[in-house]
Each structure stands twice: as structure tokens, then as C-alpha cells.
Amino acid sequence: MSEILFLGGGAWGTTLAKLAKVNGHTVKLWSRSQELSLVEAVLDVDMIVSCLPMSAVASVAMKLARLDLPEQTILLSTTKGLDPETAKPPSDCWMQLLGQHPLVILSGPNLACEIQQGLPTATVVASANRQAAQRVQTCFSSERFRVYTATDWRGVELGGVLKNVIAIAAGISDGLGLGANARSALMTRGLAEMIQVGCHWGAQSETFFGLSGMGDLLATCHSNLSRNYQIGFALASGKTLQQALETLKGTAEGVYTAPILMHYAQDVGLDVPITEQVCAVLEGTSPPIQAFAALMNRRLRGESLS
């Protein structure tokens, strides 16, 4: 049995902690609002699970790097965002500051509310260290939470990061009442956008057809439990971004990922039209229906998944 520390007291952190506890592992929860210090929290732990919002990853990672953690302590990252300073995913921060530790990435169609209700799903844990991935797999697997392993940790991580932007687009489409055809088209072309960006960052294209890519994309683009979908739907319903955020429970990482991704793509010459139009709606420079029209009137071309 392992002793596991969960960083972040939100819905996802508490959900994963419950899964581990049911499997007999000792669980500790830490958040920045608690009195328990990080120094006390890390004592005797075998695994540290980051369920932090992207905005908190760098500061917490720096604090952990100053502590004398055993090198065999596994780091499990579940954060789905991009760093505003570097435009890099959270794994880059963990590897830069704590690269001596085995790093594992977890992502998949994992809406926390459904898992809390005991509804079944699957996820994937990926790492360059196969033993670390298998250790995480056994910690969380159950008859209602099936865990697969993979080695393309970059692709698994980026699948979870990039789908958030497409989920906002899907929410906008549904909020405008454009129908299943439009949503399906957005998701398919959104997947192509994800693959292009992912391969640019060294991911394998086939990873995006798995649980962390297509699986997570389907879940978040079809469910009003998705915070990113909720934001898109609210914007299409006439709310401002500030109004949409005020009624949201938790963080919609896609709101922050989209502009970072757009600027990075422009700098390196990546074509991300859906991301660009999502940004236009988020910034208030384009009404939702106009943003969708801009996508429909792009230059005609052949279909490609990259």
C-alpha cells in the first residue's frame, strides 16, 4: 500500500483521493488554504499527485524542489493547461524542477461528477518510466475506473490540455443551436488541430485517437458537466466572459489556454483556426455567430488530420 499526497482540494483531487482510499492506500490532501504546511504534508509519501490549476503549478513545484524528497517519489500530474510565461504544459515545469523523480501523466474522459456518482470510465497514465506508470495504474484501478498505461506522456498530456479549447467551441455551437452536425464537424477539425500542435511538441499522432485525446474530447464536447463547454454555451447565450466565469464552479482551463496557444502558434507558424475564433469570442472582438461564420468561409482545401 502507498501513502499518497494530493495537491489541490478541488473536485478532481478529492475524486482521485477517494479512488485511492477505496483501494486501501493512505491519502493526504493539501491545498494552499490549509494550515498543514507542505513540509509536513510530504513526510513519508510515496507518490505526489498534482491536481493543481495551471496558475499554481510553478509556485508549488518550486517549493517541492527545495525539500529533500526521496528520488523514488513518483510525481503524478493531472493538470490540463499551459504556462502563461513559457507556453509549455505542466510536465515541463515538473521536469525542470524535479527531473530526478519519475513523472507520470494522467488524462482521459474523466468528468469528476460522474466518477463521484460511481459511474464507470477509463483513463490512461503515461510515463517514460514504465514501472512508475504501472504503480500508478494499480493504485487507482477498480471495476469502475479502468486505467491503461502508455509511454507517450507528451501526447497524453497535450490531449487533455488542447481539448479544452475545442470544448469551448462545442459549447458555443450548441449555445447557438447549430445542431449535431456542426458540433461533430468542430470536434473532428478540432482533433486535427490538436494533432498538429501535439506533433509539433513531439507527441505521437496516434495518441490523440486514444482516451486522452478523442476520449476526453468526446466527453467534454458533449456534456454540460464540462466547465469549458459551460463557458462556450454561456458566451453563445449572450453572457460576457466575466459573467460566465462568475457563475462557474471551478476553473475552465481552456479560457486561459486558448490565448497562450494562439500566440504560440502564430510565433511558430501553426494553423489553429478554431483556437483563433475561440479567442475572438473570449476577448469579445467577435460575436459567436460571426466567429463560426469565419470558420465556414475559410479557404477551401483538402481534408487532413494535421
Grid cell 464540462 in the structure block, residue: 226
SS3 (DSSP) at 277: helix
Distance between CA 260 and CA 234 in Å, rounded?
A: 22
Return contacts of 212-215, CB within 8 angstroms, 24+ apart: 212/107, 212/108, 212/123, 212/124, 212/126, 212/155, 212/156, 212/157, 212/159, 212/160, 213/155, 213/159, 213/163, 215/108, 215/109, 215/122
Q: Could you tell me which residues are beta bridge partners of residue 26?
A: 3
Please confirm, yes or no, whether 63 is among the known catalytic residues. Answer: no
Selecting among 21, 63, 163, 239, the annotated active-site residue is 163
- In degrees and rounded to multiples of 5, residue 134 shows phi and psi of -70, -35
Helices 130-140 and 11-22: angle between axes, nearest 10 degrees: 80
Distance between CA 130 and CA 43 in Å, rounded?
A: 25
Q: Which of the residues are catalytic?
A: 163
